[in-house]
Each structure stands twice: as C-alpha cells, then as structure tokens.
Amino acid sequence: VEKRHLLSANSLYTTTMMASVIIGFAVGEPLLAVADMITAKLGLTAVGLGKEIVVASSYAIAGSILLLLKVNEKSRNGSFITTNTDGAPVAEQPHVFEDIRDGLKYLSQQHRVRSAMIQLVILFSVFAALAVLSVRLAEVIPEIKSSQFGFLLAAGGVGMAIGAAFVGQFGQRFRHAQLSLYGSLGMAASLFGLSLFSHHLLPALLLITLLGSFSAIVGVPMQTTIQEETPEDMRGKVFGLQNNAINIALSLPLALAGVAETFFGLRAVFLGLSAMTVAGGALTWYISRTGLTKR
C-alpha cells in the first residue's frame, strides 16, 4: 500500500474486521445453541459438544482459507551469507534477541512511534477490560441476561466500524496527533458516562458505541503513524515488539479487571480507565507538539 493511502487502508481493514466481530457476536449465541440442540438430538450427550464442534470447525475453515492464499512472500532462508572457509553459502539464522534490541533502540530514538505504540497498548487494554466488564454490566442491567453480554460488545464493534469509516473519509484533514487527542477525550467521556449509567441498557449501548467510534479515531491514525515512520528494514522488528506489547495489553486486563471490579466496583474501574485514556492522549499530543517545536 502506498504511503498516502495507508490511513484509508487501515480504516478499511478496521471496518471489515469490526463487521466480522459484529456478525460473530450477533449470530454466535443462537448458532451455538442450535449446535447443542442438534448434537443432543443425535444422541451425543456430552456437555457443550455442539459448541466445541462449531468453534473447531470455524478454526479449520479459517486455516484452510489461509493455506489457499498466495502471498508471494520470500522465505527467510532465501537469503544466504558465506561464513565458512570455502565460501559455500550458508542459510542465515534468525537473530531474535538482536532484533528485539534493535527494535527497542529504534523506539527509544523515535518518540512519535513510541507514543503511538503506547496509545495502541492503552487502547487494547481498555477493550480487553471491557470484554471482562461487559459480563458484569450484563448482570447489573435488568433488561438483558448475563449470557447476552455479547450484544454490549457488538455495540462497540458497530462504533468502531463507524469511527473507522469516518477516519477513512475525513481523516486526511487532521494530523494524527489531533485525531488521537480527540479520540482519547471521547473515549474518556464515554467511559465516564458508563460509570454513571451502568445500570441502564440504552445509555450503556449508546456509550459503548461511542467508545468504539472514538477508539477507532485513536487506533487507525496511531497504527498508520507506526507504518509511515518505520523504515522498511525495521518494520519486522518494530511490529514484532508491537505485537508482543499488545498481547501483554490484552492479557493483563483480562486477569486484573475482574479482580479490580470485585474490590472497587464498576464505577471506580471505568473512572480509572477514563483517566488512563486521557493520559495516553495527552502524552501523544505533547510529544507531537514538542517534535514540531524542535523542527
């Protein structure tokens, strides 16, 4: 993808990804229930067997589709170096720790790339926490069952699709740091609203939709910033660090959000997440302004 089309490409990717999430949450519960009914009628009485068959089949189908894709990638062993005395070519081995060290060194020198990565880590942390807290939200909202928490997450997916479409259409008019700041403030306001209206279905759905929209306004420009400002020879190292950081950002809230909610309550946790998003947006804005001043 050409550099000038990166923002639109990331917006399209986010929109289609969120559309699949929305469809998954919308049809997931009834589809799994039907699968259990079918297995029960066939005399298969193992608990949850129908669900397991559907999920396993989905993974198998996805893997088969990936095998059919032609990506035209060169093998890592396609490049050779001569290391022995007679000059025979020897396949170059991957240098994992050296790549990590180079990636960290590059991030220490590139403040905007580093701040964009921090923003993405905060963003994924918030949504990982929301995935846990949505179960508790569904429990305290009288209009829905706790098992229907997927509808709350689907509302966030709808919002992300809307926000990504907005960025794709109008994002070129703003600097990435501006979009990040506005999106962070919008996310913080949405989380603050959730702390006040967590017991009401319609306000909660609206606020989660807004949260998704503003998160796309943060996520799409920040991912584009990393792609634009990372040279080609460093992308594998930087994106590898990004994936590791995001995996940690997804894992820790899954373990801690439920515990924090038990000790402090939904309101306090949502307020904490709100403060965290404001801090991330302010950091990105400050680094952007500092960089402009130095130029």
Predicted confidence at residue 81, as pLDDT, reads 47
Closest CA to 229 of 123, 109, 119, 95: 109
Quick one: pLDDT band at residue 123, thresholds 50, 70, 90? confident
Question: Is 293's pLDDT higher than 50?
Answer: no
**pLDDT tens digit string along 140-189?**
998 888 878 878 888 888 898 899 889 888 888 888 888 888 999 999 99
Quick one: pLDDT band at residue 270, thresholds 50, 70, 90? very high
**pLDDT tens digit string along 187-216?**
999 999 999 988 889 999 999 999 999 999
Q: Report which of residues 129 and 30 the model is more confident about.
A: 129
Predicted confidence at residue 75, as pLDDT, reads 53
Quick one: pLDDT band at residue 82, thresholds 50, 70, 90? very low
Percent residues over pLDDT 70 in the chain: 85
Domains of the chain: residue spans and CATH: 3-72+94-294 (1.20.1250.20)
In the chain, what is the greatest distance between 2 CA atoms, to the nearest angstrom? 77
